[in-house]
Amino acid sequence: MPSGQTHDRITLWSLPVVTALTLAMTRNSDLTLLVAGGFFFSGLMLSPDLDLRSRPFKRWGWLRWIWLPYQKMMRHRSIFSHGMLIGTTLRVLYLVSWVSLLTVVMVAVVQWFGEEPLPWQEFARRVVRSLFSYRVKLIALFIGLELGASSHYLADWSSSAYKRWQKMGVKGWFSGVGKQQVSEKRRGRKNKQMRGRGDAGTRRIEIPREMSFTRKQQKPKPKPSRNSSSRSRKKQPQNKRGNRTKR
């Protein structure tokens, strides 16, 4: 897979091309600025690699903690994080939900210390009206975000396809698609099982003394004494009939 530095270079090199094409197609500087800004923000900050502790994740600084639940919910390179349209949509909704929650908390704190209560219904109506009136610009911003994520997807897919082509040739482009997803699923299952077991996989196996594989040291045999009565006698020669021959 391309490294984080490679993805950043692709974003920076592609930014002038995206800006020029958008300006040539729309003839509108505002829309061009929104598309280019969305492309730049998606490539560096709202990257598909937010499901890992990557460079985009570290760029959020002390706000990086908001992406920790996202990393636990999303598996790396799944269709929900690296899928066309669906990946960008989920990341935008996730970020908007955090912004909305923080905004509600701040407004509630201001209302608590303020004298006049804030009309929540009127506030919600203003938000809906602003979203509807700026719908064209919001669509342009979303297109820029999706283009930035698409450059990331294409870099990953082209790198994987090139590696499969080096190993298996043209057949690798078709044979590695399903196998890679299956292998990633198996790895995820194994990781979950190891997490559930805890330290069970790292326990020490104690071998009892009875099953020790060390050889027992044999005691040396006692040497016979010279004056012992069990001295071996010389056998006398015998004839064919078994009788001893006299000397």
Please tell me the predicted confidence (pLDDT) of residue 99.
92
The residue-averaged pLDDT of 217-243 equals: 53
DSSP letters, 189-231, are HHHHHHHHHGGGGG---PPPGGG--SPPPPPPPPPPPTT-TTP
Average pLDDT, the chain: 76
Mean pLDDT of 134-143: 94
pLDDT value of residue 189: 60
CB 36 within 8 A of CB 14: no
Question: What percent of the chain stands above pLDDT 90?
Answer: 36
The mean-pLDDT minimum among 2-16, 91-105, 145-159, 227-241 falls in 227-241
Report whether pLDDT(212) > 50.
Answer: no
pLDDT at 195 over 60: no
Mind listing the pLDDT tens digit for each residue in 104-127?
888 888 777 766 666 777 778 888
* Cβ neighbours of 77 (radius 10 Å): 19
Q: Is the pLDDT of residue 131 over 50?
A: yes
Partners of 244 in the beta sheet?
A: 238
pLDDT for position 122: 79
Please write the tens of the pLDDT for every residue from 153-167.
888 888 777 677 677
pLDDT at 22 over 70: yes
Q: What is the mean pLDDT of residues 189-218?
A: 52
| pLDDT interval class at 237 (50, 70, 90) | low
Q: What is the pLDDT of residues 83-111, one digit of tens each?
A: 889 999 999 999 999 999 998 888 888 77
- Give the span between the Cα atoms of 98 and 66, in whole angstroms: 8
